Structure 1
Amino acid sequence: MSTTPKLSIEDLSISLGGTVILERVECDITSGVLGIYGPNGSGKSTLMRTIAGIYLPRSGRIQIAGHDLEQAPVLARQQLGYVPEHADLYPYITCRELCDTVGALRGDHSGGWKEQLAAVGLQGKEDMKLGTLSAGQQRKVTLLVALCGSPQVLLLDEPTKALDQQSLGFLNEIIQDWKDQQKLILLTSHLRTYLETYCAEYLILSNKHATLSDTLPPV
């Protein structure tokens, strides 16, 4: 089994609009489910967006499956799936067009995402414009897109939000399958019990710093 970290963060500092969000974050994670935990405003979503390449860090280094996010962004992002807290999808394309495009960018032209349409509750919706879908359906699309191309790292930012029971069951199966396959998931959730169900380790954000722990702090 490879022990190469699927996510390596070195001396990472993040500022937005002149405000320091996080300072000198360090972690090397090989596989499993890492819970990102902290109070509102502690930087959980900001850290996720930075790992996803949406925000640029003030300093530091991020490697995804051995690829440097700054030096080799295409290779790094091919190994990364991201479900943001809020779906922000281009309204004039379809689920099919988006999934085919993302899959191709990750080197996968098989259209394997179609096999998961029914499980996520989107069967029959694949050719509808994204702007015509409900908020819950758009949320399902972000999950489907994140899985395109079999990435090695999955970022789930409040993934249970707006999901119905069918899609929540699909999400739970994905998390368990990824654990079994020795892939890596980063998970945030306002549901403490949800984190405790799946996470063996946590990155605790507090006072602009991050600490690895195998338990959550007391409430």
Structure 2
Amino acid sequence: MSTGAQITASGLVMTYGDVRAVDGVSFTVAPGEFFGLLGPNGAGKTTTLEMVEGLRKPRAGTVRIDEHEPWKREPALQRRMGVQLQSSSFFERLTAREQLDTFGALYGVAAGRTDEMLEQVGLVDKADNRTEDLSGGQKQRLSIACALVHDPDVVFLDEPTAALDPQARRNLWDVLRDINDSGRTVILTTHYMDEAEALCDRVAIMDAGRILELDTPAALVRGLDAPVRITLAPGTLGVEEARGMTAVEQVADEDSGLTITTRDPARVLTELAHRDALAGLSVKGASLEDVFLELTGREYRA
């Protein structure tokens, strides 16, 4: 099992002409932690990740992976890092097995490692297929396998489930959980809030090159202090009866049923139980997506 690696970013700045793409970003990732960078298009997520990976040298600030500065490209550190880029490229006309064999050979990895990685990412039955014949989800899994073939301590994943269908995304989540459960430190960028909520120990929400909030998904949602929506099956309760209940803030009569808004769901649910009105109801609290929209706004981004 990997021991992970600690990542420390302090005051990172990256500029392109007059544009400050990253503006004083600081965070620390503990060994074995699953950390998420979230933000709208142009927030600076990928640029931040590229500085932490060592693909770009910061204009200002420092990055350390344990005691190493990644932009110096030290061989000892490179062997400990696995990188899955936002856009994956493979050697032409090679099969999935040959791709992994080639990546493994670059790190001096034994040939038997290929079979292990194909098993881990669920591509055993596609081992002899050329990469151009693989589906989008299969290519993403192969890309992650290539990033893991040398057994790195820290893994960087830049939008690994972008453009995948819901089934492929959920299957890939299992692979990502296994990566982290093996002790590796993982940094993920994603636009999917449910993905971050399901996978990440902590998340940093970025916009305009800065970190707006950083905490566990649950703590960020609690800090929003958003009301809970309880939707009853049609005909279960009258509008006026619902409005007369304790702790009810709003009542809306919708096609899907009566929706009650409250900040004290336990009390409302208790009253609904006394009225024998629990059958078919649904309860929806705030989510990380609500936090994201509250912090970054709802306007379209380029």
Give the whole-Å Cα distance in 1 for the aligned partners of 2:39 and 2:144.
23
1:54–1:98 Cα change, 3 Å:
farther
Using the TM superposition, name which of 157-166 and 141-150 deviates more. Answer: 157-166
1:91–1:110 Cα change, 3 Å:
closer
Partner of 1:103: 104
Give the whole-Å Cα distance in 1 for the aligned partners of 2:114 and 2:166.
20
1:149–1:81 Cα change, 3 Å:
same
List alignment gaps of at least 5 residues for structure 1.
none
Give the whole-Å Cα distance in 1 for the aligned partners of 2:16 and 2:91.
25
Give the whole-Å Cα distance in 2 for the aligned partners of 1:164 and 1:117.
21
1:71–1:82 Cα change, 3 Å:
closer
CA positional deviation for 1:131 = 4.0
Give the whole-Å Cα distance in 1 for the aligned partners of 2:100 and 2:126.
13
Map residues 176-195 of structure 1 onto 2, 5 A cutoff: 176-195=177-196
CA positional deviation for 1:21 = 0.6
Identity %: 29
Give the whole-Å Cα distance in 2 for the aligned partners of 1:75 and 1:82.
15
1:19–1:88 Cα change, 3 Å:
farther
CA positional deviation for 1:139 = 2.1
Q: How many residues are treated as equivalent by the alignment?
A: 217
Map residues 150-161 of structure 1 onto 2, 5 A cutoff: 150-161=151-162
CA positional deviation for 1:154 = 1.4
Deviations 1:10-36 (A, max 9, x none): 222122355221022222211321111
Partner of 2:272: none
8 Å contact kept, 2:9–2:27: yes
Partner of 1:23: 23
Partner of 1:144: 145
TM-score, normalising length: structure 1: 0.81
Map residues 56-205 of structure 1 onto 2, 5 A cutoff: 56-118=57-119, 120-163=121-164, 168=169, 170-205=171-206
CA positional deviation for 1:104 = 3.7
1:120–1:77 Cα change, 3 Å:
same
Give the whole-Å Cα distance in 2 for the aligned partners of 1:130 and 1:18.
40
8 Å contact kept, 1:6–1:152: no
8 Å contact kept, 1:121–1:167: no
Partner of 2:45: 44
8 Å contact kept, 2:136–2:164: no
Give the whole-Å Cα distance in 1 for the aligned partners of 2:113 and 2:165.
23
Partner of 1:13: 13
Give the whole-Å Cα distance in 1 for the aligned partners of 2:23 and 2:60.
9
Using the TM superposition, name which of 116-125 and 190-199 deviates more. Answer: 116-125
Give the whole-Å Cα distance in 2 for the aligned partners of 1:112 and 1:166.
27
Structure number with the bigger relative contact order (C-alpha 8 A, sep ≥ 6) is: 1
Partner of 2:264: none
CA positional deviation for 1:147 = 1.4
Give the whole-Å Cα distance in 2 for the aligned partners of 1:127 and 1:154.
26
CA RMSD of aligned residues (A): 2.9
List alignment gaps of at least 5 residues for structure 2.
221-287, 294-302
SS in 2 for 1:50: helix
8 Å contact kept, 2:25–2:209: no
Partner of 1:212: 214
8 Å contact kept, 1:139–1:162: no
CA positional deviation for 1:162 = 4.4
Amino acid at match of 2:192: L
Give the whole-Å Cα distance in 1 for the aligned partners of 2:75 and 2:45.
24
Give the whole-Å Cα distance in 2 for the aligned partners of 1:14 and 1:128.
41
8 Å contact kept, 2:10–2:62: yes
Give the whole-Å Cα distance in 2 for the aligned partners of 1:136 and 1:180.
21
CA positional deviation for 1:116 = 3.4
Give the whole-Å Cα distance in 2 for the aligned partners of 1:50 and 1:188.
14
